[in-house]
Amino acid sequence: EAGVAQSPRYKIIEKRQSVAFWCNPISGHATLYWYQQILGQGPKLLIQFQNNGVVDDSQLPKDRFSAERLKGVDSTLKIQPAKLEDSAVYLCASSLVRPGGYTFGSGTRLTVV
């Protein structure tokens, strides 16, 4: 089966600019997650969707981050305006409703300068 697709793979922006990331999960996976992985750390959950509804966004910095999952399939994560500390890899993952395991995309490496 096709994996989780993410784009772009790399992005370099200046602070205060905006950026958007895209994710296409595995077909049939109802649950979609966005994780932030700062260099040297484990992934931290930003937001979790089940179909097109938000299940958990408690760790999403809502003053600058937003995410949507229209039609319960693809998802976009946006940062506006970006800060230097947003430099990280942004990972998208998907799973069945009762996960036996997540399937991760390759991530988008964001560098804010």
Partner 1 sequence: TQLLEQSPQFLSIQEGENLTVYCNSSSVFSSLQWYRQEPGEGPVLLVTVVTGGEVKKLKRLTFQFGDARKDSSLHITAAQPGDTGLYLCAGLHQGAQKLVFGQGTRLTINP
Dist CA 93 CA 106 (whole Å): 9
Dist CA 86 CA 82 (whole Å): 6
Dist CA 105 CA 83 (whole Å): 24
Q: How near is the Cβ of 16 to partner 1 at its closest, in Å?
A: 27
Nearer to partner 1, 81 or 96 (CB): 96
Q: How near is the Cβ of 67 to partner 1 at its closest, in Å?
A: 15
Q: Which residues form the interface with partner 1 (CB under 8 A)? A: 4, 31, 33, 35, 40-45, 48, 50, 55-56, 91, 93, 98-107, 109
Nearer to partner 1, 21 or 102 (CB): 102
Dist CA 98 CA 31 (whole Å): 9
Q: How near is the Cβ of 81 to partner 1 at its closest, in Å?
A: 26
| Side chain identity at residue 90, one-letter code | Y
